[in-house]
Structures are given as structure tokens and as C-alpha cells.
Amino acid sequence: MEIETYIYDILINSEAITDLFGDNIQPLSGKKTKLPVILYQLFQIGTETSKTKGELKGEYILKLHLFSENYLDIMAASDICKELLDFKEVTEDEALVIDLIKFIKYSNEYQENAEVFNRTLEFSVDIY
């Protein structure tokens, strides 16, 4: 499975997140979506490979973009996402898939008279 799939599974299997956003969790794309929504992006920023074993180390940045018309939902979802992912390991069949997900920062992108509120949470994702 790809890393994006693991991130999606963590988010969609959180009852607290689905209470706020339903199943409206998807990769960032150009298509229009209904609110509230969580959009996510994963960027690879570094890798070390071996000729025989493939990828030995991967470093990624995960960005979660939370959008809602309700500012309180954004604040609640931000806390839930941080708790769900910060200092998280991901295993599959007793094998470690993601060594560490770590919260880096968040940023707000809205104006006082905005109709839509947005908060972006940024995490580092390390695979060894």
C-alpha cells in the first residue's frame, strides 16, 4: 500500500473526524468539493536507496487542508488530526510501514469576513 492510503485510513477510521467531515476526505485536486472537507497532500523531500533493497529511507511532508464554513469545526478538527497523527507509527502485518509522523506547524488562511475557514496542518513523515 502507498503512504497516502495509510494516511487516508487513519483519517477515515477516526470517528471524531467523520463526525465533523463525514467521508469527505480526499487528496487535493482541482475538482470542486462540498464543505466541510479535508484535503491532503504528500510531498517527498528526501530519499536514500540501495541497489538491492530499494528505498532505505524516505522523508515526506504531509499537509492536511481543513475547510469549513464553521470556524469551531476547524479548531476541533485541527486538534483531532494533531492527536491522531503526531508521534504516530503505522504498522501492517506486524511490519513497521511508517516510522514516525510528527507535527511541524499549522497556518490559518482566512479573512475576518470570509465565508470559508481554512487551516493547514503540516507533518513530517519518516520511513526507514
The CA distance from 34 to 46, in Å, is 34
Q: In what order do the strands lie in the sheet with 25-27?
A: 25-27, 37-50, 54-68, 117-127, 95-108, 88-92
- When pLDDT is averaged across residues 94-105 and rounded to a whole number, the result is 90
Examine the pLDDT at 33 and tell me if it is beyond 80.
no
Instruction: Give the contacts of 27 (CB within 8 A, at least 6 positions apart).
Output: 4, 39, 40, 41
Q: Which residues pair with 42 in a beta bridge?
A: 62
pTM value is: 0.83
Question: What is the tens place of the pLDDT at every residue in 65-75?
Answer: 999 999 899 99
pLDDT band at 3 (very low <50, low <70, confident <90, very high): confident
pLDDT band at 92 (very low <50, low <70, confident <90, very high): confident
pLDDT band at 56 (very low <50, low <70, confident <90, very high): low
Give the angle 80-45-65 at the CA atoms, nearest 5°.
Answer: 30
Question: Greater confidence, 96 or 112?
Answer: 96
The CA distance from 127 to 59, in Å, is 6
Q: Which residues pair with 126 in a beta bridge?
A: 59, 100
